[in-house]
């Protein structure tokens, strides 16, 4: 960067993405190229507190990131159901918001453009803008964490659905009268293909007396059996861990085949903590996808790709959402704003 | 209609929809309001004949409908996989077409605009233009016949997918290692919710010695047990027939819940032969949809509606497709055409 470019960048207002999850609030300054430049974290105050307390935690994290510079806009990724208008968090399992007009409250606090969407949609925006879904008109983006988050990109835009609830792939039933799910249903896909399913599979094998790298790692860990430990053990070829990924991957492929039959996307992107295992997860998933997909020899089977972004997908996508909106501001307004003395 | 209007209508070129199914070719003149004005039928020559023979049958049916008047355009609904460009029939279980450029061949024969799509998409166009999906931005249209046909309307337009294969809902797996399917897979949704599933359910009960209205109807019929007989018996409260609809309807609701979780549409329309039973099918389906759908108390559950169009859905939708395209012809071209002496 030349000195002139550096000076221009310093004057440019800061665009921030905020990801509000069940345990933490992550705020980040994100560059126009999707790079995370600076981050701040706060603990999420819990779900049995006053609704505004979450916004106070967000406020603190954003202020720390902005550090006295000019704020241009904030995109918010929320772990919950956001309505079709992007105004309210209808409900969120781990947050106190119940139908709260989160977007308006935050825009009033910060006095800049604020946009709100759910975390899975924001992760999809990150992949579509800078990651594995760049250039794909139609893409499905799955986030395998505790459960399955999902987002639908059609003609390059997010399909949010008439309630803003499109992409709830994790609660499609794949087993009649199957495993009970937190949603109240049974046999939901995320009961068979998710971080929870991975740990459950490995835990059952260990309870049956399996030994090896995973058993050793668990014995040495303060936190007991976790998803990252299963990934670590699978990378060391531990048979229990590899079998857990094979099962979760096989179910991933079966469910993706169902989605491909319905949407016929050009690409399917898999992110979230479980996807950090890469081909340990995706190789068995690709086999199951080819096997389960209708007319797989008569079509181009979409590639099943690992997401580019990890835990920062939410903030990157949230920032991209608001940056896109700022870019759509009519030219005259942008010009007059530039002319304003600063 | 005034005499002037009648004269204008007589001069207006005829718009025709053609539905090419496994057993018959149906051609129809369709009014701008979606009314079928005149029809002609031919037998489909089978799937082991020369590819062009199907087009000859279509030619005859269209000529009979046009009856010497001026042809404006033809929309074709084909029972098969049509590519994303709407040019080729990639393959069709009951027709000889294997990757044939059907659209171009027909446009050359008829020397008018010809558009091609699969029958499920055409049925959806009929419902979106004139039927149960009018005014709904996002709708799913299912056709329950031998199997399940499906179509996806998003923002008022058909979502065809990157291979032109979106909406293959019938081959989403709902039972692991379930019933074998003609597609080569197992546990496909249409094995549990379709005309075939209805007949299979009723046949099993009759084989177990069930008596009643359905058994009597079957004994008196030359064709043995058929879907329409099950419908007729269910309308007479025959317990075997009612139970068959309850099972097919329950599975319909479970599968629709999966689709609603993924797409979040404003409305779901069910057509095809099985839907002629109305609430015998849809009442149990609505119960299962409410029960199976994630967050059903936090959202507007989309209404599950009976399609307006029956066996004519394909021709009406095919005609609507080509009429819309004619309407999009640039104004200058339309004007110059009007000025042409006739």
Residue A196 sits in the same domain as residue A316: no
Q: Is the residue at B57 inside a domain?
A: yes
Residues of B in Cβ contact (< 8 Å) with A302: 162
Residue A8 sits in the same domain as residue A66: yes
Q: Is the residue at A62 inside a domain?
A: yes
User: pLDDT tens for residues B139-158?
Assistant: 999 999 989 999 999 998 99
Least confident of A271-285, B62-76, B79-93, B191-205: B79-93
Residue B10 sits in the same domain as residue B140: no
User: pLDDT tens for residues A226-285?
Assistant: 999 999 999 999 999 999 999 999 999 999 999 999 999 999 999 999 999 999 999 999
Residue A301 sits in the same domain as residue A316: no
Distance separating the N- and C-terminal Cα atoms of chain B: 22
| Residue A1 clears pLDDT 80, i.e. is over it | no
Residue B160 sits in the same domain as residue B285: yes
Q: What is the mean pLDDT of chain A?
A: 92
Residues of A in Cβ contact (< 8 Å) with B173: 174, 254, 257-258, 292
Q: Is the residue at B129 inside a domain?
A: no
User: Predicted confidence band at B331 (pLDDT cuts at 50, 70, 90)?
Assistant: very low
- CA Rg value for chain A: 21
Residue A296 sits in the same domain as residue A326: no
Q: Directed axis angle between helix A239-263 and helix A279-292, to 10°? A: 40
| Residue B55 clears pLDDT 80, i.e. is over it | yes
Residue B199 sits in the same domain as residue B62: no
Residue B166 sits in the same domain as residue B289: yes
Residue A197 sits in the same domain as residue A148: yes
Check CB contact under 8 Å for A168 and B263.
no
CATH number, domain with residue B116? 3.30.420.40
Instruction: Check residue B341 and give its pLDDT.
Output: 39
Instruction: Check residue B298 and give its pLDDT.
Output: 87
Task: Report yes or no: B140 and B121 within 8 Å, Cβ to Cβ.
Answer: no
| Substitution target from B84, B99, B158, B168 for chain A, most A beta carbons within 10 A | B168
Residue B90 sits in the same domain as residue B168: no
| Residue A4 clears pLDDT 80, i.e. is over it | no
User: By a Cβ cutoff of 8 Å, what residues of chain B touch chain A?
Assistant: 81, 90-91, 137-138, 150, 152, 154, 159-169, 171-176, 183, 185, 188, 254, 257-259, 261-266, 292, 294-295, 298-300, 302
Nearest Cα of chain A lies from the Cα of B48 at a distance, in angstroms, of 19
d(CA B179, CA A250) in angstroms, rounded, equals 19
Q: Is the residue at A131 inside a domain?
A: no
Q: Is the residue at B88 inside a domain?
A: yes
User: pLDDT tens for residues A167-177?
Assistant: 999 999 999 99
Q: Is the residue at A129 inside a domain?
A: no
Residues of A in Cβ contact (< 8 Å) with B81: 295, 298
Residue A119 sits in the same domain as residue A152: no
Q: What is the ipTM of this complex?
A: 0.91
Check CB contact under 8 Å for B150 and A259.
no
Nearest Cα of chain A lies from the Cα of B262 at a distance, in angstroms, of 5
Determine the structural domain holding residue B22 and report its residue range.
3-123+312-339
Q: Is the residue at B253 inside a domain?
A: yes
> How many degrees, rounded to 5, is the angle at CA A83 between CA A79 and CA A87?
90
User: pLDDT tens for residues A24-47?
Assistant: 999 999 999 999 999 999 999 888
Q: Residue B63, Cβ neighbours under 10 Å: how many? A: 14
Check CB contact under 8 Å for A161 and B137.
no
Residues of B in Cβ contact (< 8 Å) with A259: 262
| Substitution target from A258, A268, A289, A290 for chain B, most B beta carbons within 10 A | A258
Q: Is the residue at A128 inside a domain?
A: no
Check CB contact under 8 Å for A188 and B294.
yes
Residue B160 sits in the same domain as residue B241: yes
**pTM given for the model:** 0.92
Among partner residues A160, A163, A259, which is closest to B300 by beta-carbon distance?
A163
Q: What is the mean pLDDT of chain B?
A: 92
Number of domains in chain B: 2
């Amino acid at each position: 960067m030349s000195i002139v470019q550096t000076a221009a960048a310093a004057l440019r207002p800061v665009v921030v993405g905020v990801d509000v999850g069940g345990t933490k609030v992550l705020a980040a300054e994100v560059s126009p190229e999707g790079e995370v430049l600076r981050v701040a974290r706060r603990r999420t105050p819990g779900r049995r507190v006053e609704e505004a307390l979450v916004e106070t935690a967000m406020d603190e994290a954003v202020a720390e990131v902005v550090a006295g510079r000019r704020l241009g806009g904030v995109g918010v990724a929320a772990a919950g159901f956001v309505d079709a208008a992007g105004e309210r968090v209808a409900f969120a399992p781990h947050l106190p918001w119940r139908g709260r007009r989160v977007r308006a409250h935050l825009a009033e606090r910060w006095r800049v453009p604020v946009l709100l969407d759910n975390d899975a949609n924001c992760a999809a925006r990150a992949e579509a803008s800078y990651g594995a879904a760049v250039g794909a008109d139609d893409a499905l983006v799955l986030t395998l964490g505790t459960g399955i988050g999902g987002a639908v990109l059609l003609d390059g835009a997010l399909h949010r659905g008439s309630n803003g609830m499109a992409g709830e792939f994790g609660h499609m039933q794949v087993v009649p009268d199957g495993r009970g799910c937190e949603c109240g249903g049974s046999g939901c896909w995320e009961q068979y293909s998710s971080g929870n399913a991975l740990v459950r599979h490995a835990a059952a094998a260990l309870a049956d007396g399996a030994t090896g790298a995973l058993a050793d790692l668990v014995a040495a860990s303060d936190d007991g059996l976790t998803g990252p430990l299963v990934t670590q053990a699978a990378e060391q070829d531990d048979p229990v861990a590899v079998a857990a990924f094979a099962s979760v991957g096989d179910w991933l492929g079966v469910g993706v085949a169902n989605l491909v039959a319905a949407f016929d996307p050009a690409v399917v992107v898999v992110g979230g903590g479980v996807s950090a295992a890469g081909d340990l997860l995706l190789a068995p998933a690709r086999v199951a996808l080819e096997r389960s997909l209708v007319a797989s020899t008569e079509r181009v089977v979409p590639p099943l790709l690992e997401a580019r972004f990890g835990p920062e997908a939410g903030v990157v996508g949230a920032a991209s959402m608001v940056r896109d909106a700022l870019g759509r501001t009519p030219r005259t307004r942008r010009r007059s704003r530039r002319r304003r003395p600063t």
